[in-house]
Chain A
Amino acid sequence: MYAVRQFGNGIFSMNGREWSLLVACLLAIILFSVVSPHYATSGNAATVLRNSVELLLIGLGMTLLLAMGGIDVSIGIVMGLAAIAIGRVLGAGGNPLLALVAGPMVGALLGCVTATVVVLGRVPAIVGTLGLLGVYRTAVFVLLGGQWLSGLPSSLTNLLATTVLGVPVPALVIAIAYLAVWLALRRTPYGLHLLAIGNSEEKARLSGIPVIKTRFMTFVISCVLTGIAATFYVATYRNVEMTIGSTLALDAIAAVILGGTSILGGRCSLIGTVLGVLLLRILQNGLLLIGVPSLWQPVVTGILIIGVLGFEAVSNRFPLVQLLRARA
């Protein structure tokens, strides 16, 4: 299919967009190392990677959603709710294995709620998830009862801080999730259906693609990945605060758009999303280290989204770019 051919079948195959993202990451690292002496340390590199774990998992799901022409702005608070469930299990002295299951379970449940409203109820994704965002935010507050969930036992942390054959567990989980999403997208009918719906939902429906099933599944998959992300969040910070996940949805959308996935649907790049997440976290961490207050972070992210899309829109109008794109 056109969409698949254009953006490569390989797990790590990169096109121009992804190479330029990689270059941007390296440039940002070099720039920040020159400006701030605290930047180029192994501790800081670990911090950046550590901070990327949740966003990488959520970004994979958001890539699927945006490629399908959907969106979920409630995803950050979904992680919050899953984190509360995990925290409650841990706090009650529950088995850490039960805590491992709690995140994806709550994620799947909330995914079904979102999908019921958006897919079965035929409500535009942006409006439906914005409404649910309000509901979930109240739910977080009510469940926490105005207090942080803190001082959780370290059983889950110990479980996830280990290494398997020298590879840290978070890296392993991300690799598995990446591989699973890549396989689903590029090697199964589901992936073709998803991209076709992104191109044109009406045409996909007319050609007999199970539109409702595919869309429903994608919303649930995205929320399950978010539930896994919540597990890592709780394991790392061992507390759940009131404002958990408030900018995660914006960050995920920004990373996916940076990565070259089209919000008009129909084409997507998983490796682009991974690089987009890294670039975003490198920028946020670097700006903080050179002394920009964290209040500016959403501004930077917002400008990135509009800037990238605006640049694409403008550059598409030049004949040379069109020619290069047609030949690539």
Chain B
Amino acid sequence: MKTLRNLQGPALTLALLCGLWLIVILGLLVLKPSVYNLGTVTTILQFSTILALVGLGQGLVILAGGAGIDLSVGGAVSLSAIVAMLSVKLGLPPVLLPVVCILAGAMLGALNGWLVNGLALLPFIATLGTFFVYSGVALAVTGGAAQAGVPSWLLLWGRGVVMGIPVPFLTLAIPCFALAGLVLLSTAWGRWIYAMGFNERSARLVGIPVDRVRFILYSLSGALAGAAGLVSIAWLGSGRPNIGQNLELESLTAAMLGGIAITGGRGGVGGVFAAVLLLVTLKTGLLQLNINTVWQVGIVGALLVFVLLADRLSQRWRS
């Protein structure tokens, strides 16, 4: 107990998340022992890949402060997947599909960045607007129909499993998180992101290129959403216009659960990673227990509210 009491900040978050995760797993073990096999682990990691990528972008945008938030991530995932599939259908060489998908996402993110930076719109209003535009266009262009025609080599990547771990998780999610963690902890860019999140005015005064960093982070969040769209295409074998549904809520919850302060400047990507695993384990568990999927959005929403309230309360107790 002594060590737990001494834990602070990210380490405390991680310890709490691991505890919660164990509770979820134990609960599931008692309720339905047959769940425990390698296949479930693979499924959980497969689902996690998409949320992890999106949650990473969301987390970085919030971390950089300035009331930063990206509500459009779900729409960006759907739209970049649709754009990539449609451009292959219109004659683009399939080899370029991954590039187009990520690039489309980056462009959508850059639009958010321009609205927030160039036009100085409030992030939550700007990205709320683009959320409806992106997800609406993805639905309206396709009429709601899934776009088939994924090249077989991409399916091989998307559905491949190495020792129970899905290949996209190994080759995309883990490297992205490792890179983000490295950048945050040991480069000037990482220091800048924390500094501008903690106190934007001081960050500007010491000469940190706040606007450029913020624009790049919004674009990065879009690019990661594009990568998540790519994973969904490669895994499901089609581009689905509603694949990003509820991702804005889930990615926000993952970022908040992961210990990133909503005001920015505090938290890390390790917590987000753990929170993603926790959320997806919880969702998969509910699915295995035959609980209707509508419960998922309610539970995730309740978790989000609970985490934010708990954060405020713990701050009050400390002070």
- List of A residues within 8 angstroms of B119 by Cβ: 309-310, 313-314
Q: Is A293 an interface residue (CB 8 A)?
A: yes
For B103-117 the 0/1 string (1 means CB < 8 A from A) is 000000000000100
| Interface contact A123-B312, CB-CB below 8 Å | yes
- List of B residues within 8 angstroms of A71 by Cβ: 124
Name the one of A126, A257, A293 contacting B124, with C-beta atoms under 8 angstroms.
A126
| Interface contact B125-A117, CB-CB below 8 Å | no
| Interface contact B298-A302, CB-CB below 8 Å | no
Once A123-B309, A131-B304 are accepted as A-B contacts, the answer to whether A299 and B132 lie under 8 Å apart by CB is yes
Excluding A299-B133, A306-B130, 15 further A-B contacts by CB distance (< 8 Å) are A117-B309, A121-B309, A127-B252, A130-B248, A133-B301, A138-B294, A138-B295, A263-B122, A293-B140, A295-B144, A296-B136, A301-B132, A302-B128, A302-B130, A310-B115
| Interface contact B292-A141, CB-CB below 8 Å | yes
Interface centre among A139, A293, A302 (most CB of B within 10 A): A302
- List of B residues within 8 angstroms of A301 by Cβ: 132
| Interface contact B308-A126, CB-CB below 8 Å | no
- List of A residues within 8 angstroms of B122 by Cβ: 263-264
From A137, which residue of chain B is reached at the shortest CB distance?
B297
| Interface contact A131-B301, CB-CB below 8 Å | yes
Chain A interface size range: 35 or more
Considering the complex, which residues of chain A in the window 287-303 have a beta carbon less than 8 Å from any beta carbon of chain B? 293, 295-299, 301-303
Q: Is B161 an interface residue (CB 8 A)?
A: no
Closest Cβ of chain A to B313, distance in Å, is 8
* Interfacial residues, chain B to chain A (CB-CB below 8 A): 67, 69, 71, 115, 119-122, 124-126, 128-133, 135-137, 139-140, 143-144, 246, 248-249, 252-253, 256, 262, 292, 294-295, 297-305, 308-309, 312
| Interface contact A137-B298, CB-CB below 8 Å | yes
- List of A residues within 8 angstroms of B309 by Cβ: 117, 121, 123
| Interface contact B298-A135, CB-CB below 8 Å | yes
| Interface contact A137-B128, CB-CB below 8 Å | no
- List of B residues within 8 angstroms of A142 by Cβ: 294
For A103-122 the 0/1 string (1 means CB < 8 A from B) is 00000000000000100011
Interface centre among B253, B305, B308 (most CB of A within 10 A): B305
Closest Cβ of chain B to A122, distance in Å, is 5
| Interface contact A306-B140, CB-CB below 8 Å | no
| Interface contact B305-A135, CB-CB below 8 Å | yes
| Interface contact A126-B69, CB-CB below 8 Å | yes
- List of A residues within 8 angstroms of B126 by Cβ: 306, 309
- List of B residues within 8 angstroms of A124 by Cβ: 67, 262
Closest Cβ of chain A to B245, distance in Å, is 12
CA–CA, A132 to B309, complex, Å?
13
Interface centre among B71, B132, B256 (most CB of A within 10 A): B132
Q: Is A73 an interface residue (CB 8 A)?
A: yes
CA–CA, A302 to B67, complex, Å?
20
- List of B residues within 8 angstroms of A134 by Cβ: 246, 249, 297-298, 300-302, 304
CA–CA, A13 to B302, complex, Å?
43
Q: Is A192 an interface residue (CB 8 A)?
A: no
CA–CA, A263 to B124, complex, Å?
10
CA–CA, A13 to B289, complex, Å?
59
| Interface contact B115-A127, CB-CB below 8 Å | no
CA–CA, A11 to B302, complex, Å?
41
CA–CA, A52 to B301, complex, Å?
30
Q: Is A174 an interface residue (CB 8 A)?
A: no
- List of B residues within 8 angstroms of A313 by Cβ: 119-121
Name the one of A122, A138, A250, A296 contacting B298, with C-beta atoms under 8 angstroms.
A138
22 pairs of residues in contact across A and B, judged by CB atoms under 8 Å: A71-B124, A121-B308, A123-B305, A123-B312, A124-B262, A127-B262, A128-B308, A130-B71, A134-B246, A135-B302, A137-B294, A137-B298, A253-B125, A263-B125, A264-B122, A299-B132, A299-B136, A303-B133, A306-B126, A306-B129, A310-B115, A313-B119
For A132-155 the 0/1 string (1 means CB < 8 A from B) is 111101110110000000000000
CA–CA, A314 to B295, complex, Å?
43
From B255, which residue of chain A is reached at the shortest CB distance?
A127
Considering the complex, which residues of chain A in the window 6-58 have a beta carbon less than 8 Å from any beta carbon of chain B? none
| Interface contact A309-B125, CB-CB below 8 Å | yes
CA–CA, A139 to B294, complex, Å?
9
CA–CA, A73 to B301, complex, Å?
13
| Interface contact B312-A122, CB-CB below 8 Å | yes
| Interface contact A302-B132, CB-CB below 8 Å | yes
Closest Cβ of chain B to A68, distance in Å, is 14
